[in-house]
């Protein structure tokens, strides 16, 4: 399989930024980083994301698994977020998304993958975070980015010192995700998301952004100040972030010299 070279490596950035000519090459690079993490670790603990951006990434991973190049048998995974009030079997839930697009097609044992649910925020204070720690912590966290700069469902205003918790979704996020729900069905108003601290504790973070709709958010996240107004800007505080994007998403990213 041909591996594409990034058109531009913005190496002088405090993070590794790889810009590809098109979305397909960027998606493949994100999948390739996951593959290399999974094959090089004895117990890979993955942090996973949903959303349209990730669909081709899961396609690559499924394909490599089908070809016998990649096994997830030793993997454990933790998804970033889930809607409140949806049954795991609801086709619009992130649990369904993950089963349909990934888990049903690979060899990760069913008890190894996790999504946050109401139990994650009840009982002992940080149940989901505790489970992540018990499993040795997330080695590689895959992230998308919302047009408003959210990561997971940490919406603008999110504080840095947060763990898995319930959040209210903004109108713009609910509108952006409306297409994933049957016509006439309201997008849930709340979700449970890993917090910013939870995300920043991952050993490595891979953020994938494609399309011009993400250009402004990417610019705010990495060229602006660290600020709750753009939750993705907290990633500037992490030392192992790889940003993978196409030229459309990178159009406002400034190269520091």
User: Among all residues, which ones are annotated catalytic?
Assistant: 81, 148, 150, 155
Q: How far is the CB of 121 from ligand F6R (least distance, A)?
A: 16
User: Does 52 interact with ligand F6R (rule: CB under 6 A)?
Assistant: yes
User: Does 144 interact with ligand F6R (rule: CB under 6 A)?
Assistant: yes
Residues 170 and 175: their CA atoms lie apart, in Å, by 9
Distances (CA, A) of 69 to 64, 65, 72, 193, 212: 5, 6, 10, 32, 33
User: Does 51 interact with ligand F6R (rule: CB under 6 A)?
Assistant: yes
Q: How far is the CB of 256 from ligand F6R (least distance, A)?
A: 25
Using alpha carbons, select from 80, 64, 71 the residue that is nearest to residue 44.
71
Token pair, residue 4, equals 């594409």
Using alpha carbons, select from 235, 248, 246 the residue that is nearest to residue 13.
235
If the CB atoms of residues 52 and 256 are measured against ligand F6R, the closer one turns out to be 52
The interaxial angle of helices 94-101 and 55-66, nearest 10 deg, is 40
User: Does 220 interact with ligand F6R (rule: CB under 6 A)?
Assistant: no
What's the half-sphere exposure (Cβ side, CA atoms, 13 Å) at 239? 1
Q: How far is the CB of 210 from ligand F6R (least distance, A)?
A: 8
Q: How far is the CB of 144 from ligand F6R (least distance, A)?
A: 2
What residues have CB less than 8 Å from 134, skipping those under 6 apart? Answer: none
Q: Which residue is nearest to ligand F6R (CB)?
A: 144
User: Does 146 interact with ligand F6R (rule: CB under 6 A)?
Assistant: yes
Q: How far is the CB of 211 from ligand F6R (least distance, A)?
A: 8
* DSSP for residue 230: B
If the CB atoms of residues 81 and 129 are measured against ligand F6R, the closer one turns out to be 81
3-state secondary structure of 181: coil
User: Does 152 interact with ligand F6R (rule: CB under 6 A)?
Assistant: yes
Token pair, residue 119, equals 């139990």
Residue 190 and residue 166 in contact, taking contact as beta carbons nearer than 8 Å = yes
Site string for ligand F6R, 76-115 (x = CB under 6 A): ----xx----------------------------------
Binds ligand F6R by CB under 6 A, chosen from 151, 241, 249, 253: 151
User: Does 139 interact with ligand F6R (rule: CB under 6 A)?
Assistant: no
Q: Which residues bind ligand F6R (CB under 6 A)?
A: 49-53, 80-81, 144, 146, 150-152
């Amino acid at each position: 399989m041909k591996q594409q070279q990034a058109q531009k490596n913005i190496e002088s950035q405090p993070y590794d930024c790889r810009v590809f000519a098109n979305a397909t090459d960027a998606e493949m690079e994100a999948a390739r980083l996951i593959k290399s993490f999974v094959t090089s670790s004895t117990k890979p603990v993955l942090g996973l994301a949903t959303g349209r951006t990730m669909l081709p990434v899961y396609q690559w991973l499924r394909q490599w698994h089908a070809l016998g190049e990649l096994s997830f048998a030793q993997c454990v995974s933790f998804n970033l977020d889930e809607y409140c009030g949806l049954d795991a079997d609801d086709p619009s839930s992130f649990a369904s998304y993950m089963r349909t697009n990934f888990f049903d097609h690979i060899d990760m044992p069913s008890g190894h993958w996790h999504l946050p649910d109401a139990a994650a925020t009840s009982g002992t204070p940080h149940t989901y975070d505790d489970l992540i720690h018990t499993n040795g912590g997330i080695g590689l966290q895959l992230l998308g980015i919302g047009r408003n700069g959210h990561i997971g469902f940490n919406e603008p205003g999110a504080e840095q010192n947060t763990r898995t918790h319930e959040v209210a979704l903004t109108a713009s996020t609910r509108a952006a995700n409306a297409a994933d729900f049957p016509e006439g069905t309201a997008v849930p108003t709340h979700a449970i998301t890993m917090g910013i601290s939870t995300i920043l504790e991952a050993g490595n973070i891979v953020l994938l952004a494609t399309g011009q709709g993400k250009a402004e958010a990417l610019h705010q996240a990495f060229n602006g100040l660290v600020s709750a107004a753009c939750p993705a800007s907290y990633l500037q505080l992490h030392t192992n972030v790889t940003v993978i994007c196409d030229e459309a998403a990178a159009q406002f990213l400034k190269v520091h010299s």
